[in-house]
A = this chain, B = another copy of it.
């Protein structure tokens, strides 16, 4: 998606350790005009899918998921990263390894909000090793719901998450795929 690539080129910062900082528009400060255009693109790409719910994971997936949900006219459910006393006992749970925070955490979704009747679009901001998305797919499978596809803002194409999802037959639509990045020069190579 041209507009997202332009934002990444102009406002993204490549850091050591394969870190791509997009915190000025995607996941700390959030540019809702861009999010709206991203939502429109996912709506176009998944126009034929009978999606009735969007599933994302806290925290930085929530904004893009909510704005996309307005275009799909469906509710959003976000998976939570820790057990809260405000969550009922009955939850679907999965374990996720965080690339950013270098730890393992539990991801949970209340059983009230996923059922075999649901057709789910998963939305998240980043896809690297795919751990967060795989946690969400585990939860969808446990619920009996149908996975219609996965919409990602920025995929790191040089890490294996996207490749493994496509090999499993998951319909994956990443709006920008970074195939290479150089922390010294700041150079970015996008897949087209």
Q: Give chain A's interface residues, CB within 8 Å of chain B.
A: 19, 21, 23-25, 28-33, 35-36, 58-59, 62-63, 65-67, 69-70, 73, 75-78, 80, 82, 84-87, 100-102, 109-110, 112-113
Contacts and interface: CB of A to CB of B under 8 A. Distances in A.
Q: Which of A28, A58, A69, A75 has the most CB of B within 10 A?
A: A28
A110 B76 contact: no
A113 B24 CA distance: 8
Given A24-B113, A59-B80, A80-B59, A30 B66 contact: yes
Contact of A28 (B19, B69, B77): B77
Nearest to A27: B86
A24 B112 contact: yes
Given A23-B86, A36-B70, A62-B63, A77 B110 contact: no
A184 to B, nearest CB: 19
Contact of A67 (B70, B77, B80, B112): B70
Contact of A59 (B33, B58, B109): B58
A33 B59 CA distance: 20
A25 to B, nearest CB: 8
Given A19-B85, A23-B110, 18 more contacts: A23-B87, A24-B112, A24-B113, A28-B80, A28-B109, A29-B110, A29-B112, A30-B69, A30-B77, A36-B70, A59-B78, A62-B62, A63-B63, A63-B65, A63-B66, A63-B76, A84-B100, A85-B102
Nearest to A25: B75
A77 B31 CA distance: 9
A110 B28 contact: yes
